[in-house]
């Protein structure tokens, strides 16, 4: 378990406005792939283009090395494990590409290229700032080492987030169960007042099992509008956080 504290700021999507209680300051934790950056499938396509490897083959090879199995979606093939594994991970993916797809390539530049394609979405700084001004504790929850963060987020995380938690998960792209307990302790909010905003439904479901609200962030959502307080009443139940 590795965790680094940061400082503050944010905003969220329309369909999730009811996710945050109207009276109690909420702890908002978010991932970055597909939330602060474009969606993961798009990032993977750009990564494959820069590495001169067909995207479908790269997805399959990463998923196979991660133990996710062939045919997994790009989220299951998330390359978070690459940062701890170093060159051995890249070599394993290279072997998978050669054996399964007859593709010979050099993935030694994988970390450098991955950080380059993880560019920020427009408006995310304002979104984080808006959430903090409304009294929310805003944290960054990462299922992999800080070395995997793009440079712009690595520089900004201590300025814009109240805390950064780094928890290698039991599977690629997943969070360990201790991540949620640690986040509750750090934020000072209960599990019931904690929200995870993530583009991976698997992690959202993990959050729900931990007693949190899990908000699935989709294409076209706005970070700041997702968690705006909604009027009290039966209609304030979000379909995303069930």
Mean pLDDT within 117-135:
84
Q: Is residue 137 located within the same domain as residue 197?
A: yes
* pLDDT attached to residue 123: 80
Residue ending a domain, among 117, 135, 156, is 117
Phi, psi for residue 168 in degrees, rounded to 5: -60, 130
Q: Which pTM was predicted?
A: 0.70
Q: Is residue 96 located within the same domain as residue 196?
A: no
Q: Is residue 136 located within the same domain as residue 29?
A: yes
Q: Is residue 95 located within the same domain as residue 140?
A: no
Q: Is residue 108 located within the same domain as residue 156?
A: no
Of residues 224, 167, 173, the one with CA closest to residue 197: 224
Residue ending a domain, among 70, 94, 117, is 117
Q: Going by DSSP bridges, is the β-strand pair 137-142/27-30 parallel, antiparallel, or unpaired?
A: parallel
Confidence at 212, pLDDT banded by 50, 70, 90: very high
Of residues 127 and 13, the one with the higher pLDDT is: 127
Mean pLDDT within 177-189:
90
> How does pLDDT run across 94-113, given as a tens digit for each residue?
999 999 999 999 998 888 88
Q: Is the pLDDT of residue 219 over 60?
A: no
Q: Is residue 144 located within the same domain as residue 229?
A: yes
Of residues 122, 124, 160, 120, the one with CA closest to residue 11: 124
* pLDDT attached to residue 24: 38
Q: Residue 160: which domain range? A: 2-37+121-241
- A 10 A CB-CB count for 139 gives 24
CATH number of the domain residue 233 falls in: 3.40.50.1000
Q: Is residue 113 located within the same domain as residue 128?
A: no
> How does pLDDT run across 143-173, given as a tens digit for each residue?
667 777 788 888 888 888 999 887 765 565 6
What's the rounded Cα separation, in Å, for the pair 67 and 43?
21
Q: Is residue 195 located within the same domain as residue 134?
A: yes
What's the rounded Cα separation, in Å, for the pair 111 and 81?
11
Q: Is residue 128 located within the same domain as residue 230?
A: yes
Q: Is residue 99 located within the same domain as residue 174?
A: no
Q: Is the pLDDT of residue 232 over 50?
A: no
Q: Which residues pair with 142 in a beta bridge?
A: 166
Q: Please tell me the least confidently modeled range out of 85-89, 109-113, 167-171, 227-231.
A: 227-231
Q: Is residue 14 located within the same domain as residue 130?
A: yes
Mean pLDDT within 178-185:
90
- A 10 A CB-CB count for 126 gives 15
Residue ending a domain, among 95, 117, 139, is 117
What's the rounded Cα separation, in Å, for the pair 11 and 159?
16
Dig out the tokens for 83 from the structure.
């940062």
Confidence at 139, pLDDT banded by 50, 70, 90: very high
Number of domains in the chain: 2
Mean pLDDT within 119-140:
86
Q: Is residue 187 located within the same domain as residue 133?
A: yes
């Amino acid at each position: 378990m590795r965790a680094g504290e940061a400082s503050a700021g944010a905003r969220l999507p329309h369909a999730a406005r009811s996710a945050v209680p109207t009276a109690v300051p909420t702890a908002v934790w978010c991932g970055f792939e597909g939330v602060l950056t474009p969606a993961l499938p798009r990032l993977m396509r750009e990564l494959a283009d820069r590495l001169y490897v067909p995207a479908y083959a790269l997805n399959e090879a990463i998923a196979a090395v991660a133990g996710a199995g062939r045919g997994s979606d790009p989220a299951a093939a998330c390359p978070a494990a690459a940062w701890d594994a170093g060159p051995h991970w890249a070599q394993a993916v290279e072997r998978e590409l050669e054996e399964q797809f007859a593709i010979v390539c050099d993935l030694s530049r994988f970390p450098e290229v991955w950080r380059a394609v993880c560019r920020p979405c427009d408006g995310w700084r304002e979104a984080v700032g808006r959430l903090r001004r409304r009294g929310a504790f805003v944290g960054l929850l990462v299922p992999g080492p800080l070395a995997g963060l793009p440079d712009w987020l690595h520089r900004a995380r201590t300025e814009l987030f109240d805390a950064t938690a780094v928890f290698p998960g039991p599977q690629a792209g997943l969070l360990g169960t201790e991540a949620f307990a640690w986040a509750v302790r750090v934020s000072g909010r209960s599990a019931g007042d904690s929200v995870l905003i993530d583009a991976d439904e698997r992690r959202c479901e993990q959050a729900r099992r931990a007693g949190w609200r899990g908000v699935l962030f989709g294409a076209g959502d706005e970070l700041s509008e997702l968690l705006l307080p909604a009027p009290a009443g039966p209609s304030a139940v979000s379909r995303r956080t069930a």
